[in-house]
Amino acid sequence: MAAFSFNKLVIFGVGLIGGSLARALRERARATGEVVGVGRSIKSVERALELGLIDSAVSLDDDHALELALRDADFVLVAAPVAQTEPLLRRIAPFLYARTIVTDVGSTKNDVVAAAHAALGDRVGQFVPGHPIAGRESSGPDAAIPDLYVDRNVVLCPLPENPPEVVERVADMWFATGASVHRMTAGQHDSVLASVSHLPHVLSFALVEMILQAPDAALKFSFAAGGFRDFTRIAASSPEMWRDVCIANRAALLTEIDAYTNVLARFRQAIETSDGAALEAAFERSRTARTEWQHGGAIKAADESAQ
Amino acid sequence: MAAFSFNKLVIFGVGLIGGSLARALRERARATGEVVGVGRSIKSVERALELGLIDSAVSLDDDHALELALRDADFVLVAAPVAQTEPLLRRIAPFLYARTIVTDVGSTKNDVVAAAHAALGDRVGQFVPGHPIAGRESSGPDAAIPDLYVDRNVVLCPLPENPPEVVERVADMWFATGASVHRMTAGQHDSVLASVSHLPHVLSFALVEMILQAPDAALKFSFAAGGFRDFTRIAASSPEMWRDVCIANRAALLTEIDAYTNVLARFRQAIETSDGAALEAAFERSRTARTEWQHGGAIKAADESAQ
């Protein structure tokens, strides 16, 4: 693990994600800097203070406390729902020191980049968009654990305005938590995540919605078993969060929905015409790829030249 | 548990499903009857014999041994892939005693009913179509366990030709394994299973297929995390089995695919128009239903009068 140190880290939203970063930096990286937690109210960060995740708690409404909190901070972490990124950055902007590096943890990045430009203007170079791909079913400060990021992927989407050493500092911070750090453009990030995360959530919600519409929904649910359980686990996710993700990543998600609808139509055609060979070949490709993925093998595209 | 006894049970296909029934009847129900295993070759049932799942092993090709095996049997269990039901029943028919009750374990039932009519003709009343909704990721005789059916649902789809006491005997057998036994028509069964099992498998295979077609498939897979893992667990299922299920249950499955495609198109529209309220309401309905299902609560249809 890289040695990593900081003097002051200010976390906006000390829940699972922000709290786990604080614990990882202290307990894994043995970094000794001050950690300040900021919440919509003092009450919302009190629990994080009780748990020792942060050294002090500040209310977002308190101008003076916020100014003190941000003074000479090395890092600001925005760990709030994506839709709050712009108002939060606007709130931070007047008190932001020139040497402070701001980063976030949002599941979508094109919209966060736009929010950062709108809120920070010509100081946008201080903001490095980020996304730790980690989570648990539980949330809140009590769910924070020091190992949440171990062997997880963190994606950074550096802006042209980011000085390289600023990006490097954010990468070092995540690396110190045990994560692998990757860089890609915001567009690439949003396309990749639309495909492997946002689309599956929409598809899972859609299956439950479809069954609910059936007149014999109760009967159907009563015979649902293990396959249904796994497939719909993510349909119990936060409606608010996924509403925001769907809208924030609209363009990429629509592309994925259309590509998926085409594959499903192709499968439908094979089923309708009893084309067992086509079905078996497709299912076999999927099984092979899924099994290789599970075991960490490299997966090749079906056809590197295909769309 | 109901007391259940039998003199002779002949199992065609002693793998996870057939082997677990044998173990359940012996180890849970303490039934002492003879269990004969039949396989495509002696070799394929030798392992079941070694494991003590069966008392004797018979090759399907051996006319004389098959005749002896079926002589005075109480039960025949057909536990082979659905597509083999008709040839197996045709193979059994010449040696079938009038008092023997035949049942099966196939995931689709309309096609099995047709197979039974074709193979057994006016003796179809001896055949009770069945489907234990249970499984594990592993297969074969080594995977057989005595508790596979505990608290699982078994669906029987009695034929008009079945004498009530014949259906009752099959129900008693499954009840003795610890399962709940339900009765519905083959059409109802196929519609319910198309919705909660067959469709999710097709949808899961389709997601992996879609990602494989992307030029950046490897990149996408490398950032897939827990949501993808759960959603695609069933995309590692047997291609042959699911090819057969899709074709055997074609009519019901096409209906479900069309209903699903409509819901997905509605979600797509809400995403395209940034209709956050519609998305959130639908996601909330799904989360509530999925959570109630998980906790065993009753689930009501969204609208009992809706199609």
| Model confidence pLDDT, tens digit, residues A287-296 | 999 999 998 8
Q: Are residues A91 and A206 in the same domain?
A: no
Q: Are residues B83 and B232 in the same domain?
A: no
Does B206 touch chain A if contact means CB atoms closer than 8 Å? Answer: yes
pLDDT at B298: 53
Extract the tokens encoding B301: 């249809």
B135 pLDDT tier (thresholds 50, 70, 90): confident
Are B54 and B12 within 8 A, CB to CB?
A: no
Asked whether residue A3 is assigned to any structural domain, the reply reads no
Does A280 touch chain B if contact means CB atoms closer than 8 Å? Answer: yes
- Rounded to 5 degrees, what are φ and ψ at A101? -100, 130
Asked whether residue B33 is assigned to any structural domain, the reply reads yes
B33-43 average pLDDT score:
93
Quickly count helices (H) and strands (E) in chain A.
13, 9
B140-161 average pLDDT score:
96
Asked whether residue A56 is assigned to any structural domain, the reply reads yes
% of chain B at pLDDT higher than 90: 89
Are A243 and A81 within 8 A, CB to CB?
A: no
Q: Do A247 and B214 touch (CB under 8 A)?
A: no
| Model confidence pLDDT, tens digit, residues B109-124 | 999 999 999 999 999 9
Q: Are residues B64 and B163 in the same domain?
A: yes
Q: Are residues A51 and A155 in the same domain?
A: yes
Q: Are residues B133 and B209 in the same domain?
A: no
B93-98 average pLDDT score:
97
- Considering only residues A201 and A307, tell me which one the structure prediction assigns the higher pLDDT: A201
pLDDT at A306: 29
pLDDT at A307: 27
- Distance, in Å, from the CA atom of A186 to the CA atom of A115, rounded to the nearest integer, reads 13
> Which among A197, A259, A299 is the nearest to B227, CB-wise?
A197
pLDDT at B307: 27
Measured between CA atoms, the residue of chain B closest to residue A235 is B287
Q: Are residues B41 and B61 in the same domain?
A: yes
pLDDT at B139: 83
pLDDT at A136: 74
- Rounded to 5 degrees, what are φ and ψ at B162? -75, 120
Which residues in chain B are closer than 8 Å to A191, comparing Cβ atoms? Answer: 216
| Longest distance between any two alpha carbons in chain A, whole Å | 71
DSSP class of residue A273 equals: T
pLDDT at B261: 98
Q: Are residues A175 and A202 in the same domain?
A: no
% of chain A at pLDDT higher than 90: 89
- Rounded to 5 degrees, what are φ and ψ at A3? -70, 135
Provide Rg for chain B, Cα atoms. 22
- Rounded to 5 degrees, what are φ and ψ at B53? -70, -30
Left if phi > 0, otherwise alpha if psi is -120 to 50, otherwise beta: which for B178? left
Picking from B151, B184, B217, the residue at the C-terminal end of a domain is: B184
Q: Do A153 and B197 touch (CB under 8 A)?
A: no
**The domain that contains B67 carries what CATH number?**
3.40.50.720
pLDDT at A297: 61
**The domain that contains B199 carries what CATH number?**
1.10.3660.10
pTM for the structure as a whole = 0.89
Helix (H, G, I), strand (E, B), or coil: what is residue A57? strand
Which of B126, B120, B137 lies closest to B75, judged by CA?
A: B126
Full domain range(s) for residue B282: 189-294
Q: Are residues A30 and A178 in the same domain?
A: yes
% of chain B at pLDDT higher than 70: 95
% of chain A at pLDDT higher than 70: 95
For β-strands A153-156 and A101-104, DSSP reports them as: unpaired
pLDDT at A305: 30
Q: Do B263 and A209 touch (CB under 8 A)?
A: yes
> Which among B230, B243, B293 is the nearest to A283, CB-wise?
B243
Extract the tokens encoding A14: 């000390």
Picking from B184, B211, B227, the residue at the C-terminal end of a domain is: B184
Q: What angle do CA B119, B120, B123 make, to 5 degrees?
A: 175
Chain B nearest C-alpha distance from A52 (Å): 28
- Distance, in Å, from the CA atom of A19 to the CA atom of A142, rounded to the nearest integer, reads 8
Give the dihedral sign, CA B133/B136/B138/B144: negative
Asked whether residue B136 carries a pLDDT value surpassing 80, the answer given is: no
B1 pLDDT tier (thresholds 50, 70, 90): very low
Q: Are residues B74 and B193 in the same domain?
A: no
| Model confidence pLDDT, tens digit, residues A226-283 | 999 999 999 999 899 899 999 999 999 999 999 999 999 999 999 999 999 999 999 9
Q: Are residues A84 and A144 in the same domain?
A: yes
- Distance, in Å, from the CA atom of B125 to the CA atom of B116, rounded to the nearest integer, reads 9
- Give chain A's domain count: 2
A302 pLDDT tier (thresholds 50, 70, 90): very low
| Model confidence pLDDT, tens digit, residues B161-196 | 999 999 999 999 999 999 999 999 999 999 999 999
A37 pLDDT tier (thresholds 50, 70, 90): very high
Helices (H), A121-272: 164-175, 186-193, 199-213, 217-222, 226-231, 239-248, 250-272
Picking from B184, B216, B237, the residue at the C-terminal end of a domain is: B184
pLDDT at A44: 82
Asked whether residue A107 is assigned to any structural domain, the reply reads yes
Asked whether residue B2 is assigned to any structural domain, the reply reads no
- Distance, in Å, from the CA atom of B286 to the CA atom of B266, rounded to the nearest integer, reads 15
Q: Of chain A residues 217-246, which have a CB less than 8 A from chain B?
A: 217-240, 242-244, 246
Chain B nearest C-alpha distance from A189 (Å): 9
Q: Do A200 and B228 touch (CB under 8 A)?
A: yes
Does B305 touch chain A if contact means CB atoms closer than 8 Å? Answer: yes
| Model confidence pLDDT, tens digit, residues A45-71 | 999 999 999 999 999 999 999 999 999
Q: Do A231 and B230 touch (CB under 8 A)?
A: yes
Asked whether residue B300 carries a pLDDT value surpassing 70, the answer given is: no
B82 pLDDT tier (thresholds 50, 70, 90): confident
Which of B187, B73, B189, B199 lies closest to B131, judged by CA?
A: B189
B305 pLDDT tier (thresholds 50, 70, 90): very low
Q: Do A225 and B272 touch (CB under 8 A)?
A: no
Asked whether residue A83 is assigned to any structural domain, the reply reads yes
| Model confidence pLDDT, tens digit, residues B245-288 | 999 999 999 999 999 999 999 999 999 999 999 999 999 999 99
Asked whether residue B307 is assigned to any structural domain, the reply reads no
A64-91 average pLDDT score:
96
Q: Are residues A150 and A193 in the same domain?
A: no
A178-206 average pLDDT score:
97
pLDDT at B138: 77
**Measured torsion, CA atoms of residues B268, B269, B274, B276, in degrees rounded to the nearest 10:** -80
Extract the tokens encoding B27: 């180890």
Are B276 and A247 within 8 A, CB to CB?
A: yes
Asked whether residue B87 is assigned to any structural domain, the reply reads yes
Q: Of chain A residues 260-279, which have a CB less than 8 A from chain B?
A: 260-265, 267-268, 270-272, 274, 276, 279
Q: Are residues A225 and A109 in the same domain?
A: no
| Model confidence pLDDT, tens digit, residues B39-78 | 998 888 999 999 999 999 999 999 999 999 999 999 999 9
